[in-house]
Structure 1
Amino acid sequence: MLFFFCLINKSLLAIIIRTIFEELEKEVISTELIQLPDVHIKPCRITQGKDRLACIGKDNCVFKDDDFYEIFEKIKEADGLILGSPVYGVDIGVYALSFVRWFMSEKPDQILSQVRLAPSKVDEQAGILLMNSKQEMATIALTLHAKQPKRGMIAYDKGYIEIYEYPRACKAVITYTEDNHQEMIECGDTKDALYYEITDMEQTILTNENVMHLDFTYDVMDMMSQIRESWGLKYPEEM
């Protein structure tokens, strides 16, 4: 008998997984659904003080004061494993909002937007205007189908910066408006973008340095929640 295990947040995806499980159980395949909001898992302590590298060479976490030990034992015993993660609302906006947050000195506290939803309720086209308490402003134009460059522009008093392929950018052009001369900056390679993200994640875990800027991630999630609410988009569990 097979055993399937799933880690998943409460979302529409949970409904999908349960539907899959129903079909598996018809074939006499045992299943178990575990949702992360329902369990208690502490942050990894492998990099902290006297516990540093404590789990190296072990087949499970050496700490048993949360739910991870038991969950990982189930993972090891399972014949199959399904991992699920929900897709956040404001589907096409997350990259642009992240881009904006990187260049604003603080999180926007005023957000206005318009959206055109596809029949599936995905945000097919959107315009978003943001401003923070320091009067810094950003304008975002997004579309799934129209052909437009993936370009971000940051404007200053004496020039502007254009960043191309901004979700996975490796090139930027600075234009100095006083004499219109340009400077090109190139760094990394677009095809290695995922590798850079993984490297940052590993460095954050090993050194506790905030190279991933998780504070920006929280800000972007908060902005997306505000925009989603203004569009009337709700997850099934919010109904």
Structure 2
Amino acid sequence: MSVLGISGSMRKDGNTSLLVKAVLERCENAGIKTEFISLAGKDIKPCLGCEKCKEKDWCVIKNDDWGEIMEKVLDCEVLVIGSPTYYFDVCGHLKN
């Protein structure tokens, strides 16, 4: 089993990252393979609304970090997402 933890906070070592890492640590203690990704500092282009992803089954925006992250999301068996809340919603990077 593999667990991927993603922190959507723009603060690299903020509270959201600490909480996601705490979950991953419990998984590691149980012998489960984990990986942590912080979106802080990542170059993720916003959705353009072109809907080409419906034709290609993949985002057509290139030259950013999202493609590599999405491959890891698809490969993991369990996904843990942490986000600070802004106005009762997840942060913008996670909406993309």
TM-score, with structure 1 as normaliser: 0.32
Asked if residue 70 in structure 1 is aligned to residue 68 in structure 2, the reply is yes
Q: Give the letter aligned to residue 59 of structure 2.
A: C
Query: What is the CA deviation profile of residues 33-82 of structure 1, one whole-angstrom value per residue up to 9, with x for unaligned ones?
Result: 2122221101112x3xxxx3221132321222101111111111110111
Q: In 1, distance between residues paired with 2:7 and 2:16?
A: 11
**Counterpart Cα distance in 2 of 1:43 and 1:8:** 14
CA distance in 1, matches of 2:16, 2:44: 21
1:44 aligns with 2:47: yes
In structure 2, the residue matched to 1:13 is: 16
RCO comparison, higher one (Cα < 8 Å, 6+)? 2
Map 1:152-231 onto structure 2 (within 5 A).
none
Give, as a single letter, the amino acid of the residue that structure 2 aligns with 1:58: K
Distance in structure 2 (CA, Å) of the matches to 1:36 and 1:2: 19
- % identical aligned pairs: 34
Q: Is the 8 A contact 1:60 1:73 kept in 2?
A: no
Structure 2, gaps ≥5 residues long: 89-96
Deviation for aligned residue 1:87: 4.4
1:22 aligned to 11, 15, 25, which one? Answer: 25
Classify the secondary structure of the residue corresponding to 1:33.
strand
SS for the counterpart of 1:25 is helix
**Higher strand residue share:** 1
Which amino acid in structure 1 is aligned with residue 3 of structure 2? F
CA distance in 1, matches of 2:79, 2:33: 12
RMSD: 2.2
Compare CA radii of gyration and give the structure with the larger one.
Answer: 1
Moved over 6 A (4+): none
The answer for unaligned runs of 5 or more in structure 1 is 89-93, 96-239
Whether 2:58 is the aligned partner of 1:55: answer no
Partners of 1:20 and 1:8 lie apart in 2 by 15
- C-alpha distance after superposition, 1:186-210 (max 9, x if no partner): xxxxxxxxxxxxxxxxxxxxxxxxx
Distance 1:44 1:87 in 2: 20
How far, CA to CA, are the matches of 1:72 and 1:61 in structure 2?
10
The answer as to whether partners of 2:42 and 2:65 remain within 8 angstroms in 1 is: yes
